[in-house]
């Protein structure tokens, strides 16, 4: 995802309401870290409990909405790159190595059994690209032209209508979780899930894709992008709510505990990118 623009107004037309003041006090005290005390602390605790209740309720509602996986695995229909108009990989891309200091050769491909390499699937949204209008080609253009990467950074994409797309070659190391790409499959659900809600067809397709990936590569973990890189909100608040359910339904452990540090450089081979 791209960094969110600042939307905070510089001046206020009206004085702060009582509710806004309470929320503001709560924000200050909650953001202060360890010292929750006095009236502000009590307000913060009450607001925090109310927020937790809201989150729990929403999680429950969405968990019910997602179709539980069946006993038999249905392989996803994966739309190949040529059908979404993918550009050719640029092995000379200037910034392909930017994600990992231990990746000086740029574009790298895993050798051998991918089940021995992959452990984790990382879930993204495509902010600011929207759910019903965004395309894989649009994301690829952003990554290649805006970021200077060799290709789209994700291995798979799931559209708002539930269609599943092939992204970066599964044998190539991804560019989607800064400094932690080795052993991680990157999957983007197309949409801005800070401001819109994933479609049910999209969530079901995402779940089925993850189940299939787990079976193919013996995955053990699932994590939101923000769990690797805390400076991002990706995959957005409405998709973050689904991650526990996805983990449970897919038999995966939530979090980054399965990450493999990029030490086995012998597993990788370069394509002669950057000096």
What residues make contact with Zn ion under the rule CB under 5 A? Answer: 1, 124, 225, 234
Select 234 or 267, whichever has its Cβ closest to Zn ion.
234
Select 25 or 194, whichever has its Cβ closest to Zn ion.
194
Q: Contact at 8 Å (CB) between 232 and 225?
A: yes
Measured N-to-C along each axis, helices 200-217 and 243-250 cross at an angle, to the nearest 10 degrees, of 40
DSSP 90-132: -TT-TTGGGG-TT-TTSSEEE-S-GGGT--EEEEEE-TTS-TT
Minimum distance from CB of 256 to Zn ion (Å)?
14
Q: What contacts 181, CB < 8 A, 6 or more positions away?
A: 99, 100, 103, 173, 174, 175, 262
Select 220 or 229, whichever has its Cβ closest to Zn ion.
229
Minimum distance from CB of 35 to Zn ion (Å)?
33
Minimum distance from CB of 176 to Zn ion (Å)?
6
Could you count the other beta carbons within 10 Å of the beta carbon of residue 194?
Answer: 18
Cα(88)–Cα(183) distance, rounded to whole angstroms? 24
Select 29 or 118, whichever has its Cβ closest to Zn ion.
118
Select 81 or 125, whichever has its Cβ closest to Zn ion.
125
Q: Residue 49 belongs to what H/E stretch? A: helix 38-65
Tokens (6 digits) for 33: 């870290």
Select 26 or 165, whichever has its Cβ closest to Zn ion.
165
Judged by DSSP in three states, 157 sits in strand
């Amino acid at each position: 995802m791209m960094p969110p623009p600042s939307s905070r107004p510089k001046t206020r037309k009206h004085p702060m309401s009582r509710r806004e003041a309470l929320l503001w006090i709560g924000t200050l005290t909650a953001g202060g870290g360890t010292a929750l005390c006095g009236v502000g602390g009590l307000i913060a605790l009450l607001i925090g409990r109310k927020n937790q209740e809201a989150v729990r309720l929403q999680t429950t509602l969405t968990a019910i909405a997602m179709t539980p996986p069946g006993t038999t695995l249905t392989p996803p229909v994966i739309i190949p790159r040529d059908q979404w108009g993918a550009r050719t990989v640029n092995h000379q891309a200037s910034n392909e190595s930017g994600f990992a200091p231990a990746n000086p050769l740029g574009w790298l491909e895993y050798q051998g059994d991918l089940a021995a390499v992959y452990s984790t699937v990382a879930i993204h949204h495509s902010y600011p690209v929207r759910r019903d209008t965004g395309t894989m080609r649009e994301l690829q253009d952003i990554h290649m032209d805006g970021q200077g990467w060799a290709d789209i950074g994700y291995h798979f994409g799931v559209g708002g209508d539930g269609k599943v797309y092939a992204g970066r070659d599964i044998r190539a190391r991804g560019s989607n979780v800064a400094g932690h790409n080795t052993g991680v499959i990157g999957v983007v659900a197309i949409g801005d899930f800070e401001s819109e809600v994933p479609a049910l067809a999209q969530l079901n397709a995402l779940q089925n894709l993850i189940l299939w990936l787990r079976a193919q590569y013996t995955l053990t973990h699932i994590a939101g992008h923000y769990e690797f890189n805390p400076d991002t909100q990706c995959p957005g608040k409405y998709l973050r709510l689904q991650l526990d359910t996805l983990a449970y339904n897919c038999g995966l452990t939530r979090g980054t505990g399965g990450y493999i540090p990029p030490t086995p450089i012998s597993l990788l081979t370069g394509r002669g990118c950057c000096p």
